[in-house]
Amino acid sequence: MRPKTFATAGLMTLGLAGTLALTGCSSNGDHEDTQTATSTTEHQDMGDGSSGGPGRSVADNDQPSASGPSVSGIAFDMADGSLASMDDYQGQVVLVVNVASRCGLTPQVADLENLQQAYAGKPFTVLAFPSASFNQEPLGTTEAAAFCADMGATYPVAAKIDVTGQSAHPLFATLAQQGGEPTWNFTKYLVAADGTVIARFGPRTTPTDAAVQAAIDRAL
């Protein structure tokens, strides 16, 4: 199968609830100051982890080979307050991603939608989890989901959770058994239709990268 061609969406400036401006969040991970209108949260590093930011490992290689653990039966809350489970996605290939709104990689929110649309009509979905584990998600669950929607996301967005360390949600604690826990925002885990974790892609591997597409195609 020939790789699909994707259009990469740039990061827009949003004024969500009057609290967040993203004009300083560049798509290449540059560290630029950003001012907020009403937020009292101190300015956080907005890079992609490549300069040694929190949680960035020396080697963050993609792990698309051996199958890992099963996430079947693991429950979590959705952004709308409903209870969900990975069993709800049985029969679908799922790309699970930890997302954040104040990161140099935040344009991947739109890239994830490009991927979602590329596989429309097939048993595939992106599943996004807002997280402040790297101190770059000041928004609450509802606002984070609205932020994703404002960037065009139609894929499901879950409630805000922790994705690293002892406080990691059980889903991400299990996902971490395939190639390690997230080292930065936008770490991606591919889950097969039977609930088995089959691949991990690092934060700087874009959702529309040929390697991600190839792994999805093999799983479908």
Which sequence spans correspond to the domains of the chain?
Answer: 16-219
State the pLDDT at residue 185: 98
Contacts of 102 by beta carbon, 8 Å cutoff, 6+ apart: 20, 22, 25, 34, 44, 46, 136, 137, 138
Q: What is the pLDDT along the chain (220 residues), one digit of tens a residue?
A: 444 444 443 333 333 333 333 333 334 333 323 222 223 233 334 455 544 444 444 336 565 555 689 999 999 999 999 999 999 999 999 999 999 999 999 999 999 999 999 999 999 999 999 999 999 999 999 999 999 999 999 999 999 999 999 999 999 999 999 999 999 999 999 999 999 999 999 999 999 999 999 999 999 9
State the pLDDT at residue 63: 59
State the pLDDT at residue 25: 38
How many whole angstroms separate alpha carbon 156 and alpha carbon 166? Answer: 25
Known catalytic membership, residue 25: no
- DSSP for 78-131, written as a single string: BTTS-EEEGGGGTTSEEEEEEE-SSSTTTTHHHHHHHHHHHTTTSSEEEEEEEB
State the pLDDT at residue 13: 34
Q: Which among 101, 113, 96 is positioned nearest to 19, based on CA atoms?
A: 101
Q: Which fold has domain 16-219?
A: Glutaredoxin (3.40.30)
State the pLDDT at residue 49: 57
Question: pTM for the complete prediction?
Answer: 0.76
Residue 200, helix vs strand vs coil: strand
Active-site position among 103, 175, 192, 219: 103
State the pLDDT at residue 68: 83
State the pLDDT at residue 137: 98
Contacts of 174 by beta carbon, 8 Å cutoff, 6+ apart: 69, 70, 71, 74, 197
